[in-house]
Amino acid sequence: MKQYLTFTEEVRHALENNLPVVALETTIISHGMPYPQNIEMAKEVEQIIRDNGAVPATIGIMNGKIKIGLSDSELEEFATNKSVEKVSRRDFPYILASGKIGATTVAATMIAAELAGIHMFATGGIGGVHREGEITWDVSADLTELAQTNVAVVCAGAKSILDIGRTLEYLETHGVPVVGYRTAEFPSFFARESGFGVDFRLDTPEEVGTLMDTKWKLGLNGGMIIANPVPEADALDHQKIEAVILQALKEAKDNNIAGKKVTPFLLDKVKQLTEGKSLQTNIALVKHNAEVAAKIAVAYQQAANQAN
From the annotation, which residues make up the binding site for substrate?
Answer: 86, 106, 140-142
Q: Count other C-beta atoms under 10 Å from residue 151's C-beta.
A: 22
Buried b / exposed e across 67-91, counting CB within 10 Å, b at 16+?
bbbbeeebbbbbbeeeebbbbbbeb
How far lies 31's CA from each of 38, 84, 85, 115, 167, in Å? 9, 9, 9, 24, 22
Query: If you ran DSSP here, which 8-state letter would residue 307 be given?
Result: H
Q: Which of 44, 178, 202, 21 is nearest to 115 (CA)?
A: 21
- Which one from 67, 77, 114, 159 is the annotated catalytic residue? 159
- List residues bridging with 102 in a β-sheet: 61, 85
* 31 three-state secondary structure: coil
Buried b / exposed e across 163-196, counting CB within 10 Å, b at 16+?
bbebbbebbeeeebbbbbbebebbbbbbbbbbeb
Q: Count other C-beta atoms under 10 Å from residue 45's C-beta.
A: 24
Q: Examine the residue annotation and report whether 67 is marked as an active-site residue of this protein.
A: no
Q: Which of 121, 260, 133, 240 is nearest to 188 (CA)?
A: 240
Q: Which segments are annotated as binding site?
A: 86, 106, 138, 140-142
How far lies 171's CA from each of 142, 226, 248, 252, 290, in Å? 10, 13, 26, 26, 23
* Under 8 Å between Cβ of 161 and 248: yes
Q: Examine the residue annotation and report whether 253 is marked as an active-site residue of this protein.
A: no
Q: What are phi and psi of 211, to 5 degrees?
A: -60, -45
CA distance 105 to 108: 5
Q: What positions carry a catalytic annotation? A: 25, 159
